[in-house]
Chains A and B, each alone.
Chain A
Amino acid sequence: EDKVVQSPLSLVVHEGDTVTLNCSYEVTNFRSLLWYKQEKKAPTFLFMLTSSGIEKKSGRLSSILDKKELFSILNITATQTGDSAIYLCAVERGGGKLIFGQGTELSVKP
């Protein structure tokens, strides 16, 4: 059975801290891994990863995929209160089907 597992489930940090969110997967016919941010409404797209070892970066956020060990990490440096959200990892398999993990709830305290 396909599954996507995120850890930790929740995390509380202070502004300025660096955080690492984890996503491991067991999915047949892997095509891509995607990260989303959700703030009390619909998820918004952050990154899409298809190749191992190539870091995607956007401002203070970065992500990398390891297709051999079947996991990805999302790093956020110099966290701000506006980074507080649920971060979702999803894996696309062949045929267009996406499997989401349960999410990591990040809370950044001032």
Chain B
Amino acid sequence: NAGVTQTPKFRILKIGQSMTLQCTQDMNHNYMYWYRQDPGMGLKLIYYSVGAGITDKGEVPNGYNVSRSTTEDFPLRLELAAPSQTSVYFCASRGEGYEQYFGPGTRLTVT
């Protein structure tokens, strides 16, 4: 059982480039989340989704976009990458219970 998978694990971007962080879960969870974690800080919610076709902004959505065309996938798009987007990105999913399952994270550096 794969759980929540994220790709890539690491990425270096130049300022102004774009990329998509992939997230897939195989637990048929309705809720999915994207967080970023800066060094020494907690998790900041970027976007979340309560089901296919439904997305909503979190605390720090600027510079990001998401889509949720299927239950399984919740990609995060960065347009015009900036150094302030250097962070570790975690995707998570949750079913009708309260436990969130986290992916392994993507470490992104923008230079």
Mark A residues whose CB is within 8 Å of B.
6, 32, 34, 41-45, 48, 88, 90, 92, 95-103, 105
Contact = CB atoms under 8 A, between A and B. Distances in A.
Contacts of A102: 41-42
- How would you classify the secondary structure of chain B's contact residues: helix, strand, loop or mixed? strand
Contact of B31 (A42, A90, A96, A103): A96
Contact of A103 (B41, B98, B103): B41
A98 B100 contact: yes
A14 B104 CA distance: 30
Contacts of B58: 97
10 contacts: A32-B98, A34-B98, A43-B100, A45-B99, A88-B43, A95-B50, A95-B56, A97-B56, A100-B42, A103-B42
B74 interface: no
A45 B99 CA distance: 7
Interface string B35-68: 1000011111100101000001011000000000
A42 B43 contact: no
B105 interface: yes
Given A99-B59, A100-B45, 12 more contacts: A42-B103, A43-B90, A48-B99, A88-B43, A95-B50, A96-B31, A96-B48, A96-B94, A98-B48, A100-B35, A100-B42, A102-B41
